[in-house]
Amino acid sequence: MQEYIVGIDLGGMSAKAALFDAEGKILGKTTVITRASDGFEGTAEKLADAAKAAAEKAGVPFGSVRAVGIASPGVVNSKTGVVLKWGNYGWLNVPLGETMEKLTGKEVYVANDANAAALGEAKFGASAVYESSIFITLGTGVGGGIIVGGKMLEGYMSAGAEIGHMILREGGALCGCGRHGCFECYASATALIRQTKKKMEDNCDSKMWEVARNSLDNVDGRTAFEAARQGDKDAQEVVKKYVGYLSEGIADLVNILRPEAIVLGGGIANEGEALFVPLRKAVDERSYISSAVVPLKIVGAKLGNDAGMYGAYALAKANL
């Protein structure tokens, strides 16, 4: 009899659930709205309902579902299924895995969402051909996960792999975590937008104003890249500086872990070779060992917003 697994990606404003078959093909998926005000129990109930709805959309009886995997924000102990801390929702030591098992009657496995996304890309996406890889997502912050031997490298109690909070600048910009100079303060999409706006304010004649339709409110991660392609010197300077920051953090990770591949996700990765060509060069210059000696691939992610669900599925499947 065919066995199925539900993969769930929990976010701050919504949760996505998909029913996977034994080969990792999505048969049906659904999305539910989530809010911090739902509380832990309310959120868990919504996730259980989403799991059942995904099976229903695929026309599969929920009784045929073997297990549920969950990618959750925050610090998650993947061995116990406990979310140790998720600041945005105010969760502290909540037993998400155990609670979901009671609500669904299924085996449930939980991991940090960035680690799960890394696992998803490693099993089904851009790094599927590599044994070791580091997935970095460039969004509001910088998140990511480390894969070694096809498995997540999470650290003690799964509390490691916080890529975005390496210190890039001692005494630098204030991070949301309360420390100064974190990698995500300089290499996130938020940081690029901030750097772009500052340069625009310094020069009212920059083509970035035209790209942003003459409003700072319209500036996004594409603004500097688009103006740079049109030859704007200020935009090119913004891109060069941003790539420098990003390459510093990546080179540190490469020097410590030396993966076969770095996989970048998030909207900025969609800039393609305008990002990847200078980034590969800068990382190579900052790495202790050149890629000519030990090959290193730097590529864009393939699974997009579904990486967390694929990773949640892979997590559950690996534990059965």
Please tell me the predicted confidence (pLDDT) of residue 2.
80
Instruction: Please report which helix (H) or strand (E) contains residue 284, including its range.
Output: helix 273-286
Give the whole-number percent of the chain exceeding pLDDT 70: 100
In order along its 320 residues, the chain shows pLDDT tens digits of 688 999 999 999 999 999 999 999 999 999 999 999 999 999 999 999 999 999 999 999 999 999 999 999 999 999 999 999 998 899 999 999 999 999 999 999 999 999 999 999 999 999 999 999 999 999 989 999 999 999 999 999 999 999 999 999 999 999 989 999 999 999 999 999 999 999 999 999 999 999 999 999 999 999 999 999 999 999 999 999 999 999 999 999 999 999 999 999 999 999 999 999 999 999 999 999 999 999 999 999 999 999 999 999 999 999 99
Write out the DSSP string of 207-268: HHHHHTTT-GGG--TTHHHHHHHTT-HHHHHHHHHHHHHHHHHHHHHHHHH--SEEEEESGG
CB 51 within 8 A of CB 17: yes
Distance from the Cα of residue 14 to its chain's centroid: 15
CB burial string 135-156: b at 16+ within 10 A, e below? bbbbbebbbbbbbeebebbbee
Please tell me the predicted confidence (pLDDT) of residue 1.
66
* Predicted TM-score of the model (pTM): 0.93
Instruction: Walk me through the domains of the chain, giving residue ranges and CATH numbers.
Output: 4-122+306-319 (3.30.420.40), 128-301 (3.30.420.40)
Percent of the chain as helix, strand, coil, to the nearest 5 = 45, 25, 30
